[in-house]
Structure 1
């Protein structure tokens, strides 16, 4: 290149951060091209190395290759998700296919695979460390699952499928983002009945940012929408907002995803069958803890029956409440959360509006940090003055008990139109120590409604759970302690990756944490003891609803990838038929409807794998009991084993072995059923 490109420059910002201030969207195309060319040259050298294959000149060399491409990609994909622009979206559409083709060509390189395969065939004689043996096994499996043993014609088809799928999943994600960004429900002051003062202030800020000062805006960010549906007394407005949320991706216009879904499903099925599997679900689950679609269905069925019974009982209670207060209506999807909150208040004297002042964003961040210090000896020191990709992002130097740098943690907490919906953890740099001790740079992304300048951002209890959940993922990345980058941090089986995050949620509601951090934002007074008790007693409230909306999405995901899509496939019809088979209540809508199911169609991560949250919950329910059994939820000896075998271990051993090393046994489903309130001791 004749001009400097900060993405390719060796100089970086403090802590190894990307030089965000110098990066422009125009830098990404040439950076990707240069990094892919460099990686291709690295692969060629490994594949044509005249020396006999050994671990260092083949496997370790593969681990070292592509570092610049990983760095460029980390910056790009994080920005494309959190601060997207039309220019970045154009690069995304172009780069996704090129990167998929590049990766597939590496995995289908016959000479390269021959070296890997030769090493794998004599792995018992190589005197490898356990970590090296695991890396070799995983890399060999990755080549096989990409089609390395296929004939030339089939390999060419696999390359074409991978490239096309990358383009389609990018289109899917951009369509959902476009629908979310385009929508705002503008309200007048007379429309605000039932909404808390902090919600009104945040809604006024949304409207101002959308060019409608003096009005109030409701967006499709889940946190914002859920609060509106729980609180607004205006049924017509609740219906309008809910229908917009549920209808993302099926507008009939340029952002309609239904044809995109059909093509994705056909290509995934074709890829699976080229590799000898009956369907894509069988292919995708083959290298997970579950192993088979039948095992996933068995788990879903164990939860579905009691969940459905509970949800029907909950519906009847809501209907009776509506009639009792004089509302002559049949409970609909946009009513459930509203009447559930009235019922929660009636049963437990818990009002979400009254709870929110005790869950300020700053206090919940501090609580998450405190738990990490108690469990793992970490300290979080906020760093100011660094140039980041958005002014609202906060950054923390993570240190161990001795003061040594462990990781850099970024918190991107607020919703904005340029950010895709949801919440997630990602990395700008992963941990490794193959040549140097590389410390990770981890980011948590949320979509909370920001309070006006100078006011305190308040969270719902569900928001606070989300924060703890994603911070559990962040710790999985920050505490990673392995040699090889391909097994670092969250590079584990999909149905194991949710264990560290879901387990971390447990500490939020521990009384000692709430007593210290759940303090009223205005007065600083701790949460009253009777409120703590009522929160504990309400832990199973509305669990039928929550379990049904989740399981429905998991069933539909599995059905889609077991049955595939014929030429006359209609996503809406398929969804309705799939839900009818499980007797889905009409008053509940699946948590992620098919046209905007980004977990499944905006990439390959959770395809045929949305069940993973439930699978991991069988582990996390049992794992937390390991602490409870000691009488100390911060028991040092249990925390040390948890860190060693789960949070720090990455993928250096298979998930079942990792869990057994921590717990000494595998769990049954019973702790999960108790956790959801579906055991014989279920609370009212």
Structure 2
């Protein structure tokens, strides 16, 4: 999952979210007894975002804005937010929690209403006009961030309130808001010298432009890198439906009579497990790893500049490297904790890779005695061994996973049994693509809880991967209920065929809905502490925690039904999924750990270590990992590693594995204490899923499980240690704040 960044700083929620606690109309400053009246002029918005949307839940009015209007709308919203910030900074009254901290929370309502749908369009349904607007707006949005964090008058007000915190009577949530806001100001440069702040402003604006450009190049590079295949015979191993979809895709590109194999966002391509033609496998794999290294979509020069600028930021702050500076608000707290967490698993993971490579090499030579296993062969022979050893055929499995059934009879059923939620499909909410469905989410007491959008299918103009985002974030003070979207990249069905999901797609649907629940159950006073507005190495915990529910028998039997016969998935396939769950971990876990450590390699550089050759550095970095990167490349290679170049996961991709540790450990608590029932759901919601960042991460985790996080359940689930092996040391919490 990723939260779409509203500003250059991923921690800036006070501006990027609808404001919180206030009773005054926008543009006014409330006065307390003894204070002077202060009514600064704030420009009025002329766009439809000037006022809350009249749609249910204040849902975005996608049908009221044309592509060429977005840039002007957001530029106006930026100007309004700039004026709001200046008004708070120039308040003649002494700084208080209300007129400074809460006022900052209240700022940026118009900006948030406009940027939330715009950012989703740029990621999920973009075009040249939107891309140009995004590029033009990026430095302006970075300047807005700087206008808040690098405003000395504003910081002095925040600091005055912070320094007086011991004498103030605050709720725990208010205290958390003050702590996090002050930490964010310091992190963003409020205490730097004026000269350093000027340089930081320039760096932030340049970074935002580079990041927007890279994101566009990665999307376009994947589309341009699609493989054209001349004959149907070369696609042996694919189903008729897949071949028909490839033919249709080629026709859309003006290649009638040929076949187009689209690239997914990851290094490994799903079709590598099916294609029998080794030459086509090699071509598809090479098309994947070669993208974004040359031509119009070459990201390497921009990446080199980003690394130089990020290391310069670390230097400005006196930090040894960018990762140290970036991880100030994480559960893990510092790079050493994250790196040690991952590297302790490398020896067992490398042994697993060597063992599995030997098995696959032996299987390959049964067909060709002279074949030497290559990276493009691993998925194919792994799939062959999976079928033979575990009787698991992924194509056969897909026939039981109709996308709508998985959502409504699986994901929604799980949410009903655990949390009492119900869902009502509606047709009166405008969407940006006809494939999107919208639901009203009802809480257990029958009240309206949230609005939920589901955008399931891959498109050429859509970023790869899957994510959750908020169109409206929850606020008790403002009476705002969450408006949330899940976006995925499930393969489009051929015309007349059902939309079928892979098992990976199924678990991704449960994963992303875990994020959605995190947002839906938000119950905070302040939006910047609400729902998923948490650290990178916490936000993926609720999502991964919900993945195992996809395989619970009582859930699977409801949604896993053959699309033609309606037959419930047979026990032999369910058992095969379970038996094979620890198979091929050398690949699936190896590509994630390699990407996580590659991320850290890039962001642990000192200024004197910044390389001039991006791909040469990547090669050297991968060779240091101690993993079989000759056969198992990182899940994302440097040129198309969007997570760390544009989505806020720099020095943070480890979070997926860190939170997987939390999720496996927490799910063990569920299994040991009654399983999937309303009592358990209430405990989940009460202890962490509905808490946002109103408490420390360690407190929330311990409130649910009663102990510090343990790594053993992760290692056991991944098959890296035997289930009864207690030799690994516990991973204790180092403190969340």
Which of 254, 257, 262 is the aligned partner of 1:211? Answer: 254
Greater CA drift, 635-644 or 157-166: 635-644
Contact kept in structure 2, 1:223 and 1:463, CA below 8 Å? no
State the 1:402 CA deviation.
Answer: 2.4
Q: Secondary structure at the match of 1:410?
A: strand
Greater CA drift, 543-552 or 199-208: 199-208
Q: Distance in 2 between matches of 1:380 and 1:233?
A: 43
Q: Distance in 2 between matches of 1:267 and 1:622?
A: 38
Q: Secondary structure at the match of 2:469?
A: strand
The residue aligned with 1:13 is: 55
Q: In structure 2, do the counterparts of structure 1 residues 71 and 327 end up closer, same or farther at CA, with 3 Å as the change threshold?
A: farther
Greater CA drift, 368-377 or 322-331: 322-331
Contact kept in structure 1, 2:507 and 2:550, CA below 8 Å? yes
Which of 63, 77, 98 is the aligned partner of 1:56? Answer: 98
Contact kept in structure 1, 2:536 and 2:655, CA below 8 Å? yes
Which of 61, 66, 86 is the aligned partner of 2:108? Answer: 66
Contact kept in structure 2, 1:173 and 1:602, CA below 8 Å? yes
The residue aligned with 1:503 is: 545
The residue aligned with 2:32 is: none
Q: Distance in 1 between matches of 2:378 and 2:402?
A: 26
The answer as to 2:285 corresponding to 1:233 is no
Per-residue CA deviations over 1:445-493 (Å, capped at 9, x if unaligned) read 1111111344211111111111111111111111111111111111111
Q: Structure 2 matches for 1:264-413, cutoff 5 A?
A: 264-326=306-368, 328-366=370-408, 367-413=410-456
The residue aligned with 1:598 is: 642
Using structure 1 for the length normalisation, give the TM-score. 0.96
Aligned length: 679
Q: Distance in 2 between matches of 1:501 and 1:611?
A: 15
Contact kept in structure 1, 2:272 and 2:379, CA below 8 Å? yes
Q: In structure 2, do the counterparts of structure 1 residues 406 and 461 end up closer, same or farther at CA, with 3 Å as the change threshold?
A: same
Per-residue CA deviations over 1:522-569 (Å, capped at 9, x if unaligned) read 111011112212211111010121111111111111011112565652
Shift >4 Å, 4+ stretches: 1-4, 222-225, 564-568
The residue aligned with 1:478 is: 520
Contact kept in structure 2, 1:55 and 1:119, CA below 8 Å? yes
The residue aligned with 1:156 is: 198
Q: Structure 2 matches for 1:150-229, cutoff 5 A?
A: 150-187=192-229, 188-222=231-265, 226-229=269-272
Q: Distance in 1 between matches of 2:205 and 2:708?
A: 39
Q: Distance in 2 between matches of 1:379 and 1:203?
A: 37
Q: Secondary structure at the match of 1:539?
A: helix
Q: Secondary structure at the match of 2:423?
A: strand
Greater CA drift, 103-112 or 204-213: 204-213
Q: Secondary structure at the match of 1:481?
A: coil
Greater CA drift, 126-135 or 484-493: 484-493
The residue aligned with 1:246 is: 289
The answer as to 2:694 corresponding to 1:652 is yes
The residue aligned with 1:618 is: 661
Q: Distance in 2 between matches of 1:328 and 1:155?
A: 62
State the 1:284 CA deviation.
Answer: 1.2
The answer as to 2:177 corresponding to 1:135 is yes
Contact kept in structure 2, 1:480 and 1:648, CA below 8 Å? yes
Q: Distance in 1 between matches of 2:44 and 2:171?
A: 45
Q: Distance in 2 between matches of 1:453 and 1:404?
A: 39
The residue aligned with 1:78 is: 120
Instruction: Show structure 2 runs of 5+ residues with no match.
Output: 1-42, 726-737
Q: Secondary structure at the match of 1:538?
A: helix
Q: In structure 2, do the counterparts of structure 1 residues 136 and 287 end up closer, same or farther at CA, with 3 Å as the change threshold?
A: same
Contact kept in structure 1, 2:44 and 2:50, CA below 8 Å? no
Q: In structure 2, do the counterparts of structure 1 residues 243 and 431 end up closer, same or farther at CA, with 3 Å as the change threshold?
A: same
Q: Secondary structure at the match of 2:110?
A: helix
Q: Distance in 1 between matches of 2:315 and 2:118?
A: 33
Contact kept in structure 1, 2:322 and 2:604, CA below 8 Å? yes
Per-residue CA deviations over 1:167-209 (Å, capped at 9, x if unaligned) read 1111111111111122332333222211123322332332343
The residue aligned with 1:524 is: 566
Contact kept in structure 1, 2:227 and 2:287, CA below 8 Å? no
Using structure 2 for the length normalisation, give the TM-score. 0.89
Q: Secondary structure at the match of 2:486?
A: strand
The answer as to 2:631 corresponding to 1:587 is yes
Contact kept in structure 2, 1:47 and 1:115, CA below 8 Å? yes
Q: In structure 2, do the counterparts of structure 1 residues 582 and 11 end up closer, same or farther at CA, with 3 Å as the change threshold?
A: closer
Q: Secondary structure at the match of 1:238?
A: helix
Q: Distance in 1 between matches of 2:611 and 2:322?
A: 19
Contact kept in structure 2, 1:225 and 1:241, CA below 8 Å? no
